[in-house]
Amino acid sequence: MAEQSPQEIPLEIRWELAYILRRLEYGIDVKANASKLWRLCANHHISQEKLLPFVQACLHPDRVLAALSGGKEETPDDKRIAVISCVNDDRKYEECLLYLSQCDLPDGMELEPIAIYHAESITSGYQEGMQSSRAKYKIYIHQDLCVVKEDALQRMLRIFAEHPEVGMIGFAGCSSMPKNGRWYETEGQGYGVAAQAVSPDLTYRLGFLKTEKEFEFVEAIDGIFMMTQYDLPWRSDLFHGWHFYDISQSMEFRKRGYRIVVPCSGDIWCIHDSPGFSFDTDPDYNEARRLFLDTYQEFL
């Protein structure tokens, strides 16, 4: 579905936008209504550029912008890590959270699980989760991923603290993006600390290069696990399904000058309970790849 111009947005949606923006303008339940606004925009493919005329139509657009940007009272909370997942299987999600709860955390820091149900796309779900939390650090994680390394979060927090230029950390990625948009077919190096359980009786380590370094800089990471210390919008205006959201977000971080890393301790950090997927037979995947290649050609 193509992005709509403000005039093409259905009248009832335009009114809903106006109602929510007015609530933000007058300080009514700002956090909940900001989250509702971003979800509405994601579901109807309304970009921030297309939202701006509606904001400017308010009597006090500066108040709306302040509410959306958070203001002083909404400064990031560096004692929380939001854990954001799109969920359709509570059993898998329960296992995911169980393992995260066993991870060591610095004193005073806590996890904030945010489950997004019935998301129309992974980008819209992640956008909603991002906007609903003040946590400085956010983990975007598949519901079927178990983090098995107990000091994983502590080590990633240390990387962020010591390297403010690092915007995002993943558990698998590549040193250079191939021109076909499939990061795992890189002509450079693939790095990772992941294993995959393809069935109840078969788990194998993914064949990435191991190094002695604490981490390696990469150009893109896989979406099974993505941890950030800065918030950037997810491209819900482009990707309306479940593919290329991760590689797209990697490019968005690179566009803004942030660096991306993969830890390389040699240990297994996570196990992905997934039988795999045949991408070439999925028309949604191929359309998302086309959009990705058209949008980010300069980074390939």
Residue 6: what pLDDT? 60
- Cα-based torsion angle of the residue sequence 87, 252, 228, 158 in order, rounded to the nearest 10 degrees: 150
Residue 2: what pLDDT? 44
Q: For the chain, list the domains and their CATH numbers.
A: 7-72 (no CATH), 76-299 (3.90.550.10)
pTM over 0.95: no
CB atoms inside a 10 Å sphere around CB 71: 12
Residue 150: what pLDDT? 97
Rounded to an integer, what is the distance from CA 255 to the centroid of its chain?
A: 16
Q: What is each CA distance from 165 to 27, 87, 155, 256, in whole angstroms?
A: 34, 31, 16, 10
Residue 239: what pLDDT? 95
Task: List, run by run, the mean pLDDT of 10-residue segments along the chain (300 residues).
Answer: 62 93 93 84 78 92 85 71 97 98 96 94 93 93 98 97 97 95 93 92 81 92 97 93 96 96 91 82 90 94
Residue 71: what pLDDT? 44
Residue 72: what pLDDT? 40
- Structure token digits, residue 79: 């004692």
Residue 52 phi/psi, 5-degree rounding, is: -55, -45
